[in-house]
Structure 1
Amino acid sequence: MELYFLGTNAGVPSLQRNVTSIALRLMEERRSMWLFDCGEGTQHQFLKSPLKLSKLEKIFITHLHGDHIFGLPGLLSSRAYQGGVTPLTIYGPPGIRKYVETSLELSQSRVNYELNIVEHEGGIIFEDDMFVVESAFLEHRIDSYGYRIMEKDRPGSIDPSKLAVHGLKPGPLFGRLKRGESIELEDGVIVHPEDVLGSPKPGKVITILGDTRPTPNVVPLSAGADVVVHEATFLHELASTAHEYYHSTALQAAEAAKEAGAGRLILTHFSSRYKDAEHLEPLLLEAQSVFPNTRLAMEHELIQI
């Protein structure tokens, strides 16, 4: 499980950074990738990355401002040309269906794979046997949402001493037990996964927030998360400006992560006034003064979860 930042700028692209898009690589977990927001130029950022559009399974849109969605029509159209033939689902606030369908219809774009669009207003929006995704309302100029991605607990490791009790040796039966299946031995004895596996391994929790002022929903969304991705559009000396434009400061992001008991904080969505690494450093130091385990999102950097 890895995060890859395709765009970290706020509002408009700059010479240094593109607008918002974040990939969550789940190659070991489900051989696929999820995308969070898709600002203009995201497909160009894909071309500079190790990511493959053919592996894209889901897109989660936080809100309908252009710097978070203007890249969608082009990316959807190009996906098939890059080997993307499997179904793709888009999740987003009400209005995302109209935006996508109208863009594709008026441009006469042909999407030759199954495209599903799920509009939501928070709550549990996806669940299967591996993951649960929950969404909650934030505070921005238009409806904006944060996403909490919860990996379900994974089976524990196989205990060799427990296998020996049943006379089991390495082989195909190992895989079945690891997947949670019971097996029948030649003598008719049934071996259940819990007979040979150690304690379950807790799943990871990742919180990716859309644009927001400080708001109560950030804390439950981020509670105990291994990683929280939070916007930090301004330094706290511009807190009044951040409030006026419905954004957060680096200090406010750190305060939220600390209150939530998060493991790590990654700052993104930087104002263009902070042009390069030198200008971004004060945001990092400001956040670290409250929440030391903070880092800046850097484009085309792969972060292990």
Structure 2
Amino acid sequence: MVCGRSSIFKGVQAVRSTFSLSVGALLLSASPVLAQAGPATPAQQDENSQTVADSKGKWITLGTRGGPVTSPTRSQPANLLVFNGKKYLVDVGDGASGQSGKAGVQTAALDGIFISHLHFDHTAGLAGILGLRFQTNAPKTFTIYGPPGTQEMVDGLLASMTPGATANYGVPGAPVQDHRTGIEVVEFRDGAKTNVNGMNVSVRSNSHYSFVPGSDLEKRFQSLSFRFDLPGRSIVYTGDTGPSSAVEELARDADLLVAEMMDVPLIVATVRRNNPRMPEQAAKGMEAHLTKHHLLPKDVGQLAARAGVKAVIVTHFAGAETDTPDYFEYLRTIADHYDGPVIIANDMDVF
């Protein structure tokens, strides 16, 4: 297999020994489990229609930026899962509709959305998806799967669409269309299992939220990780999480682990630099929160090793970018704990 990027590794002992090698020296063949097809394009979508229908499925990283800060090179968190002709968004950050279009999938062709948690960097694109589907007369039922609170969020978004939907295209005498028609919500809690069009979906609550046990907020909200068991492969999506035994259990022996990862020291240093008057206590509190609620490189490696997954994709990435020493250090740190293939994904990568 021809590999498209230098961050794909097999035989990670080479990475442990040095991370300052040239890009060419780091280009090693990847496991068949982690087959990177390169950026998706509409032309490729047409040419590879049979591949799209493959029961093994494709995972496309539409948006790989970690956190709510925008980036000139990475879009907000969103993914596209394609199998047996079905197309699902997994998280729907701002710009998800445009990124899906780049992958050759229009909003009207989507079959549903899975949402991991209700932070706005993971949900801001939902209003666009719902509105564009209405404007293009999407014909089929559209189901949004998510954590507790998803119904309330969708109801609010649909209410916000009422003026635009009522005016519609501004044609006198046009039949009235209800923009709520066909929109369904299924809320999941920890331990839920269901089958969606031949795909077994399992859900665990992770450690991205740490509300006081028994509190109202703890009862109302959960942050979820998903496992998608397709006929040909198993894919686990961590969503946003800190270290979590529940996620390790969910990911046991999965073919592909799609894990978030953040360079917390770098983020804290950047925030301090941009806010020199930030109180020390506030900075330390932010660092503690990020460390507990997100995965560091060592956490990704330990999670992958303990779960026994076959390959890892890093997304929801906030850190030093490609071909810097820190970037290779992330991979080396993961490799200290996990000896399988790893890649830090870019927007529009196909796996």
**Fold match (TM-score > 0.5):** yes
| 1:281 matched to 2:325 | no
Tell me the SS of whatever aligns to 1:270: strand
Post-superposition Cα deviations, 1:52-92, rounded to whole Å, max 9, x if no partner, equal 32331121110001100111011111124456321111111
Q: 2:312 is aligned with what amino acid?
A: L
1:99 is the counterpart of 2:140: no
Worse-matched range after superposition: 260-269 or 232-241: 232-241
Residue identity opposite 1:71 in structure 2: G
In 2 relative to 1, CA 112–96 (structure 1 residues): closer, same or farther, beyond 3 Å? closer
Q: Secondary structure at the residue paired with 1:223?
A: coil
Residues 287 and 78 (structure 1 numbering): CA distance in 2 closer, same or farther, change over 3 Å? Answer: same
Comparing 7-16 and 229-238, the one that deviates more: 229-238
Alignment of 1:91-130 (within 5 A): 91-108=145-162, 110=165, 111=179, 114-127=182-195, 130=198
Helix, strand or coil: the match of 2:262? coil
1:157-208 deviation digits (Å, cap 9, x = unpaired): xxxxxxxxxxxxxxxxxxxxxxxxxxxxxxxxxxxxxxxxxxxxxx411101
CA shift for structure 1 position 266: 0.6
* Cα distance between partner residues in 2 of 1:74 and 1:97: 17
Deviation at 1:99, TM superposition (A): 1.1
Higher helix share: 2
Distance in 2, Cα, partners of 1:23 & 1:280 = 25
The correspondence for 2:70, drawn from 13, 27, 37, is 13
TM-score (norm 1): 0.74
* Alpha-carbon separation, structure 1, partners of 2:206 and 2:305: 18
Q: Please give the per-residue CA displacement for 1:224-270, whole angstroms capped at 9, x wherever unaligned.
A: 10001111112688899765221111221111111111011111111
Tell me the distance in 2 between the aligned counterparts of 1:2 and 1:105: 34
TM-score (norm 2): 0.65
CA distance in 2, matches of 1:129, 1:301: 25
Structure 1 residue 148 corresponds to structure 2 residue 205: no
Which of 261, 273, 286 aligns to 2:308? It is: 261
Amino acid at match of 2:58: E
**Matched residues, percent identical?**
27
Gaps of 5+ in 1: 153-202
Q: Which amino acid aligns with 2:224?
A: Y
Determine if contact 1:150/1:205 at 8 Å carries over to the other structure.
Answer: yes
Instruction: Report which of the two structures shows the higher radius of gyration computed on alpha carbons.
Output: 1
- Aligned runs of 1:184-195 on 2, under 5 Å? none
Distance 1:268 1:205 in 2: 17
Structure 1 CA distance for aligned equivalents of residues 205 and 222 of structure 2: 7
Structure with more strand by fraction: 1
Aligned to 2:272: none
Query: Out of 256, 271, 283, which is 1:227 matched to?
Result: 256
Matched with 1:162 is none
Give the secondary-structure state (helix, strand or coil) at the position aligned to 1:212: coil
Does the Cα contact within 8 Å between 1:250 and 1:267 map onto a contact in 2?
Answer: no
Quick check: 1:91–1:118 contact (8 Å CA) kept in 2? yes
Alignment correspondent of 2:91: 37
Gaps of 5+ in 2: 1-56, 166-178, 210-220, 269-283
Question: 1:280 and 1:287 mapped to 2: Cα distance?
Answer: 11
- In the alignment, residue 4 of structure 1 is paired with which amino acid? I
How many residues align? The count is 249
Specify the SS of the correspondent of 2:337: coil
* Amino acid corresponding to residue 244 of structure 1 in structure 2: H
Please name the residue that 2:207 is paired with. 139
Amino acid at match of 2:294: H
1:295 equivalenced with 2:349 (yes/no): no
Q: Where in structure 2 are the equivalents of 1:168-179 lying within 5 Å?
A: none
Matched letter for residue 234 of structure 1: D
- Which gives a bigger RCO, structure 1 or 2 (Cα 8 Å, sep 6+)? 2
Query: Equivalent of 1:23, from 76, 80, 85?
Result: 80
Contact kept? 1:213, 1:242, Cα under 8 Å: no
